Structure formats: C-alpha cells, structure tokens
Amino acid sequence: MAIELNTIYFVNKFGSEKKQIPFPIAPNIKLMDVVPEISKKFGISSQNICIANMGGQVLTYTDLLSPVRELVEKFGNTFDIIDRGIVG
C-alpha cells in the first residue's frame, strides 16, 4: 500500500529574497529524522539549524521528536528555517 505523504513548507528568510521549499513527508515520521536532509537542502549546518512556526514560536527538541502529523496540527504546515549564525 502506498504511504500517504503530506507536504510541509519550509521558508528561509536569510538573504534579500525569502525562499520556500515544499517538503513531502510521511505524517508518522519524526521531524528530527529529516533534519539532516532539510539542512542539506538549505545548506545550513545541522548544528546551526532552528525551526519556528508562523507565529514566531521556535520548536523545541521535544517538538522535533513528535511525528509530523502532530506538529502540523499543533503549529501548522509552514515553518521558518533559521541559521543561528554562531560567531567566535
């Protein structure tokens, strides 16, 4: 049986133009499991990556361990991708 896929959207606001990447994903997958793939798509180092919802709420580590279905119901289907931009 084919697995149902939901599309979630990631928006990156670094740069002069905001960019969006649609990301088809099975609803039972934990977001944490696809963070490396998301990092790769946006070119952000995995350690620097941060995800927030449209209301400006940054997702916690516990949130990232929830299945995508739950996250979409709780935060919506569109997320901002943020590079922390650590300097030393």
Partner 1 sequence: MTYQKSKRRRSISTFNIPKIIVDVIKNQARLSENEIYGWLIGYQKNTIPNVIAIIECNKFEQQTLISAVPNAQEFQDFSTIMPQGIGPIGIYHSHPFSSDIFHSHTDDKTLISLSNQFSNCVSLVTNGKEINYYQMGKNQQINEIRAQFNDPQSLRFLLVSMNIDLEIQVDSNLLTDENYDKKLKIKILNRIKEYLEKIWINLGFYYQNTKIAKQDSIDNYLANNLFDEPIHIKIPQNLNNLNILISDNLTTESIFQNNIKLKLGVKTPIYIVDQKKYFYEINQAIKIELLSNNILQKIYFSILSDNKSSILLPNDFYIKFFEFYIRFLYFDNPEMNENKLSSKNFEFIYKLISLIENFASVQLDKRFQEYIAKFLTDIENFSIKFQWQKKLKKKILSLKKEYKF
**Chain positions contacting partner 1, by CB under 8 A:** 7, 9, 11-20, 22, 42-45, 48, 50, 52-56, 58, 72-78, 80, 82-88
d(CA 7, CA 10): 10
C-alpha closest to that of 83 among 35, 13, 18, 1: 13
Closest separation between CB of residue 30 and partner 1, Å?
19
Closest separation between CB of residue 2 and partner 1, Å?
19
Closest separation between CB of residue 73 and partner 1, Å?
6
Nearer to partner 1 among residue 2 and residue 17 (C-beta): 17
Nearer to partner 1 among residue 1 and residue 17 (C-beta): 17
Nearer to partner 1 among residue 33 and residue 73 (C-beta): 73
d(CA 77, CA 45): 23
Contacts from 56-62 at CB under 8 Å and sequence distance 24+?
A: 58/82, 59/31, 61/32
